[in-house]
């Protein structure tokens, strides 16, 4: 797609992509779900034991408090939780929507399906992966799209995220909606599509015979010790593939650290290292600079780039839901923020949070 032209402070590139997760209106109406899970499932340590001055960590957490829209900010280095703060009444036990990070979780699950022999390869076409669905919504163009093109947002269907995203998210049958989209005029170039990314959900459903939430619970959440989650569905009962997943920020951090560690969690292999490497290697490069992020890229439903001279990989959601991997520092940052906001407000939130994280990374780099 032509990336959304900036009408607000976020600007060029990624406001529309991160919208996916609102489900209606400009932001989202999902409220945090209190859970009984105790906040004792992470080994903790002091920042100083990991080369970070206490004052540097304090500055980060205090700056987080200056953002009225930020609910949580967590820092993990060398596999240990060394910074954690909740704001504005939030608690560590809250389930909060991760918005378009839902897409990134779906990408991880596709890797699990390939490892399990449920999907042959990302070269499989939608005709092979969704035959029943295409029989109900015939579209030769959609049938020829590959799973890899879905993961890279290069399927080439007619789509404008800024004007049609709500058409997709409000559709009673999001699978039929996505499959029915005709060929676009831009070819197979990158065009971020909430509609197309949803198709990961029915693909996983067909592969395993159970819905995406069940796949996630068995093949990702349980191995990571994620004990509770929630996920929205369309009127057909299909789990939304592009948005709607709710997690604790501590559990989002587990997914981030697992990816940073090449698919491992507490020494055990959870996701194939080769799949994680594939996910973190952008296939689309040269995207516009976004705030402090330069060398922007995308691929396999992950973002990538450079902040303060450091390579980063990013799972990102509307309004400032982030899991940021910083391999050179063996560091992961995770945030949760307000969803029920307008496009322009969400853009401002995202930029403010990214700038806060960028200042922290610059301080660490020295």
User: Does 10 score more than 50 pLDDT?
Assistant: no
pLDDT at 172: 97
- CA dist., res. 228 & res. 233, Å (int): 17
Three-class secondary structure of residue 134 per DSSP = helix
Q: Which two three-digit tokens encode residue 174?
A: 């999001």
Give pLDDT tens digits for 156-205.
999 999 889 889 989 999 999 999 999 998 889 999 999 999 999 999 99
- CA dist., res. 296 & res. 13, Å (int): 9
Average pLDDT estimate for 83-108: 97
Average pLDDT estimate for 309-321: 97
Average pLDDT estimate for 313-317: 97
- CA dist., res. 92 & res. 72, Å (int): 8
CA-based nearest residue to 126, from 156, 164, 104, 165 = 156
How would residue 343 be classed by pLDDT, with cut points 50, 70 and 90? confident
User: Does 9 score more than 50 pLDDT?
Assistant: no
H or E segment to which residue 322 belongs:
strand 321-326
Average pLDDT estimate for 65-91: 97
- CA dist., res. 323 & res. 299, Å (int): 16
DSSP string, 185-211: SSTTS----HHHHHTHHHHHHHHHSS-
Length of the chain measured in residues: 366
How would residue 41 be classed by pLDDT, with cut points 50, 70 and 90? confident
pLDDT at 366: 80
Q: Which two three-digit tokens encode residue 61?
A: 């957490």
How would residue 36 be classed by pLDDT, with cut points 50, 70 and 90? low
How would residue 7 be classed by pLDDT, with cut points 50, 70 and 90? very low
How would residue 38 be classed by pLDDT, with cut points 50, 70 and 90? low
Give pLDDT tens digits for 77-88.
999 999 999 999
Mean confidence (pLDDT) of the chain: 90
pLDDT at 173: 98
Give pLDDT tens digits for 122-164.
999 999 999 999 999 999 999 999 999 999 999 999 999 988 9
pLDDT at 225: 95
User: Does 326 score more than 70 pLDDT?
Assistant: yes
pLDDT at 33: 58
Residues with Cβ within 8 Å of residue 337, at least 6 apart in sequence? 67, 69, 70, 71, 319, 320, 321, 349, 353
Residues with Cβ within 8 Å of residue 231, at least 6 apart in sequence? 102, 212, 213, 216, 239, 240, 244, 245, 246
How would residue 318 be classed by pLDDT, with cut points 50, 70 and 90? very high
pLDDT at 165: 86
> What is the percent of the chain with per-residue pLDDT over 90, rounded to a whole number?
85
Evaluate the CA torsion angle 44, 259, 175, 186 in order and state its sign: positive
How would residue 13 be classed by pLDDT, with cut points 50, 70 and 90? very low
pLDDT at 187: 87
H or E segment to which residue 71 belongs:
strand 70-77
List C-alpha distances in Å: 205 to 190, 223, 285, 310.
26, 20, 31, 37
């Amino acid at each position: 797609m032509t990336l959304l032209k900036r009408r607000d402070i976020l600007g060029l590139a990624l406001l529309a992509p991160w919208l996916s997760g609102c489900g209606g209106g400009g932001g989202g109406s999902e409220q945090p779900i209190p859970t009984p899970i105790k906040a004792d499932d992470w080994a903790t340590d002091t920042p100083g034991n990991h080369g970070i001055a206490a004052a540097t960590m304090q500055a980060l957490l205090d700056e987080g408090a200056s953002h009225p829209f930020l609910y949580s900010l967590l820092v993990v280095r060398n596999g240990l939780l060394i910074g954690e703060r909740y704001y504005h009444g939030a608690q560590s036990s809250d389930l909060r929507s991760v918005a378009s990070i839902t897409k990134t979780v779906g990408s991880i699950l596709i890797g699990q399906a390939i490892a399990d022999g449920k999907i042959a390869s990302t070269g499989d076409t939608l005709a092979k992966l969704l035959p029943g669905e295409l029989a109900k919504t015939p579209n030769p163009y959609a049938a020829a799209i590959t799973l890899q093109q879905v993961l890279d947002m290069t399927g080439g269907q007619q789509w404008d995220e800024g004007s049609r995203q709500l058409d997709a998210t409000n559709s009673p049958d999001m699978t039929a909606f996505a499959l029915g989209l005709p060929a676009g005029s831009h070819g197979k170039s990158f065009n971020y599509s909430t509609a197309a990314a949803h198709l990961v959900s029915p693909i996983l459903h067909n592969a395993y015979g159970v819905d995406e939430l069940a796949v996630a619970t068995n093949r990702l959440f349980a191995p990571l010790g994620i004990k509770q989650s929630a996920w929205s569905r369309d009127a057909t009962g299909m789990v939304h593939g592009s948005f709607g997943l709710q997690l604790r920020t501590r559990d989002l951090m587990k997914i981030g650290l697992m990816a940073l560690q090449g698919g491992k969690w507490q020494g055990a292999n959870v996701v194939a290292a080769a799949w994680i490497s594939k996910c973190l290697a952008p296939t689309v490069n040269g995207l516009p600079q976004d705030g402090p992020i330069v060398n922007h890229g995308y691929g396999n439903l992950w973002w990538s780039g450079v902040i303060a001279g450091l390579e980063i990989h990013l799972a990102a959601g509307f309004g400032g839901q982030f899991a940021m991997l910083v391999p050179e520092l063996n560091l992961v940052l995770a945030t949760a923020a307000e969803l029920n906001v307008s496009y322009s407000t969400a853009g401002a939130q995202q930029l403010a949070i990214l700038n806060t994280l960028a200042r922290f990374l610059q301080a660490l780099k020295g």
